[in-house]
Amino acid sequence: MEKLLDKFLRYVSVDTMSDPESETQPSSERQFNLLRMLRDELEAMGIKAELDEFGYVMATIPSNIEKEVPAIGFIAHVDTSPDASGADIKPQIIENYQGGDIMLNAEKDIVLRVSDFPEMQNYIGKTMITTDGTTLLGADDKGGVAAIMYAAQYLMEHPEVKHGEIKIGFTPDEEIGRGVAKFDVKKFGAKYAYTIDGGEIGELEYENFNAAGAKIHIQGANIHPGYAKGKMVNSMQIAMEFNAMLPVDQRPEFTCGYEGFYHLTDIKGTVEETSMQYIIRDHDRAKFEEKKSLIVSIGEFLNKKYNGAVTVDVKHQYYNMRQEVEPHYFIVEKAIKAIEMAGIKPKVQPIRGGTDGANLSFMGLPCPNIFAGGHNFHGKYEYVPLESMEKASEVILNIISLFSE
């Protein structure tokens, strides 16, 4: 069998950054480069696979048992976050990590410090894969892609392992909230599924944020400052006023657990014109709706004050999957048992984010989320222990075994 590490390194070498400003599906043509690679690798294993025009790879491993068991799907996304460069990734591999800080880039003095990320000490003796300090790594979610592909390879090379029908799906654009916008659940054919898109080893999630995005546009009026009295409208000042009206303690850096937030992700401005973008998150549906309403009401208040200068556009992204998964809680229980079978303590917790599984659950495919092993996603401090990805693959095989009993 090809090593999981080799698969992972091959996948992260392909730039698959999604583009939130694009209206195409997928949002960036470069994602097709990895999607085609995965389709071809599946076909080379003897697994029937196809890639459609929307960037979905769907594949099937037929059942090899006589009794009828539900078809189970495993899904991961190929795109990387636009928050940091996903091009020309140069992973560093630290075998038998002995603890302590890891120098990512000596020239720029970028260091992965235990004082900042104390969980690093949990991986002493493991093989750590890090960035070189200039890009993200792509373990979100190429760690999940590699774990699924490794499990698929194992099944094809070990026909003695009994299993029901297995469905494999790879999606684009998860990082910009459009991962399954055109996903055909009926065509996919799974009764239940799992996304392999979580973080550290042991994580299992079946509830996530309710999510929305807000775009704010502020139209000012630029007048020579020497003659500006009563005439100038500085759009940047209004933008700062808008942001100051949001509760400070509901920013990401001050929240955890089930606490929601407003996150200013982008701001560009001049005196004449300023644009801002927020993401709005909360696990509680009522609080989520309140957060969206506050964004709108601030815009309305400032419009009265500044004569219609502010435009607010709030768009829904996804809802909390818990209400769709709980009626099928046995699929969570099987995942818990599968993690325990791998010698890992399950960490059942809410996702402070979202996965394709959230929207899939509302599309009729209950879809909890399982760890892929990585830490510090979306930036230069991202890392993943190789052994965590290997355990994710083992959990996939355990779930398949449990559904086949």
Domain end point (choices 318, 352, 372): 318
Q: Are residues 275 and 312 in the same domain?
A: yes
What is the average pLDDT across 226-232? 95
Domain interval for residue 301: 210-318
Q: Are residues 176 and 107 in the same domain?
A: yes
Q: Are residues 162 and 295 in the same domain?
A: no
pLDDT computed for residue 56 by the predictor: 98
Q: What is the pairing mode between strands 102-105 and 72-77?
A: unpaired
Query: What tens digit of pLDDT does each residue of 199-217 get?
Result: 999 999 999 999 999 999 9
Domain end point (choices 284, 318, 352): 318
The answer on pLDDT for 354 being more than 80 is no
Q: Are residues 341 and 389 in the same domain?
A: yes
Opening angle at CA 88, ends 86 and 91, nearest 5: 90
What is the average pLDDT across 308-324? 93
Q: Are residues 182 and 216 in the same domain?
A: no
pLDDT band at 353 (very low <50, low <70, confident <90, very high): confident
* Cross-strand partners of 279: 213, 263
Q: Are residues 359 and 215 in the same domain?
A: no
Q: Are residues 341 and 358 in the same domain?
A: yes
Q: Compute the distance between CA of residue 38 and CA of residue 34 in angstroms, rounded to an integer.
A: 6
* Cross-strand partners of 58: 50, 169
Farthest CA pair distance, the chain = 85
Q: Are residues 45 and 192 in the same domain?
A: yes
The phi, psi pair for 94, rounded to 5°, reads: -110, 105
Q: Are residues 273 and 394 in the same domain?
A: no
Name the E strands within 206-301: 210-219, 261-269, 273-282
Residue 213's CB: how many other CB atoms inside 10 A?
A: 17
Q: Are residues 23 and 116 in the same domain?
A: yes
pLDDT computed for residue 177 by the predictor: 83
Domain end point (choices 318, 351, 367): 318
Q: Active site residue: 15, 19, 79, 141, which one?
A: 79
Mean pLDDT score of the chain: 96
Q: Active site residue: 174, 197, 282, 356, which one?
A: 174
Opening angle at CA 211, ends 206 and 212, nearest 5: 165
Query: What tens digit of pLDDT does each residue of 120-131 get?
Result: 999 999 999 999
Q: pTM for the full model?
A: 0.87
We report the CATH number of the domain holding residue 244 as 3.30.70.360
We report the CATH number of the domain holding residue 48 as 3.40.630.10
Q: Are residues 306 and 362 in the same domain?
A: no
Query: What tens digit of pLDDT does each residue of 251-273 get?
Result: 999 999 899 999 999 999 999 99
pLDDT band at 352 (very low <50, low <70, confident <90, very high): confident
What is the average pLDDT across 76-99? 96
pLDDT band at 318 (very low <50, low <70, confident <90, very high): confident
116 is catalytic: no
Using an 8 Å Cβ cutoff, are 221 and 232 in contact?
Answer: yes
Total count of domains within the chain: 2
Q: Which of 191, 197, 179 is nearest to 35 (CA)?
A: 179
pLDDT computed for residue 339 by the predictor: 98
pLDDT computed for residue 355 by the predictor: 80
Return the minimum-mean-pLDDT range out of 167-171, 177-181, 203-207: 177-181
174 is catalytic: yes
Q: Which of 15, 21, 356 is nearest to 213 (CA)?
A: 21
Q: Position of tokens 């970028």?
A: 110
Q: Are residues 157 and 219 in the same domain?
A: no
